[in-house]
Structure 1
């Protein structure tokens, strides 16, 4: 019998990889999409270049919120001692 914890762990690992890919695409798109070769052409938000503000500051805030939501609603609590209980016949 395959342990159900492996199925849960694999699902959560895939969710983690998707979150990393979303973070990378967000960062890359704003860092290289809004950046220019000449710093004289930069636009600034709160004294920070626009590309850096959106890629790093907003990206960090967005990913923090997204990870919090994912952990709260998609991740499950998995007991580590389940295998030990099965060996003892379910007794604690």
Structure 2
């Protein structure tokens, strides 16, 4: 049982780190990133593309990698 709690805590920490990274990424490109008003990528403003579109792709890849490397299936019975 103690081994399960250790694994659950590890997974929770990894999840919080990934969420914090995604929030910082999104916040930087949404509020701090200085782009020209004429910067467009695929018809979207560059700040929106980087924060919402590219950020989503990056975090999905990171979550997939984290699940494959660090998460384990745990029997809760």
User: TM exceeds 0.5?
Assistant: yes
1:41 alignment partner, SS class: coil
Contact preservation (8 Å) 1:31, 1:52: yes
* Structure 2: distance between partners of 1:34 and 1:3: 45
Over aligned residue pairs, what C-alpha RMSD do you find?
1.6
Aligned residues: 77
Q: How far apart, CA to CA, are the structure 1 residues paired with 2:6 and 2:23?
A: 26
Tell me how far apart the structure 1 counterparts of residues 39 and 33 of structure 2 sit (CA, whole Å).
9
Measured after TM superposition, the shift of residue 42 of structure 1 is 4.1
Paired residue secondary structure (2:72): coil
Considering Cα pairs closer than 8 Å and 6+ residues apart, tell me whether 1 or 2 has the greater RCO: 2
2:27 is aligned with 1:31: no
Structure 1 consecutive aligned stretches of length 4 or more whose deviation exceeds 6 Å: none
Report the structure number with the largest CA radius of gyration: 1
1:38-77 aligned at under 5 Å gives the runs 41-77=37-73
Aligned to 1:89: none
Structure 1: state its 5+ residue gaps.
82-92
Report the equivalent of 1:13.
12
The runs of 5 or more residues in structure 2 that have no matched partner are: none
The structure with the largest helix share of the pair is 2
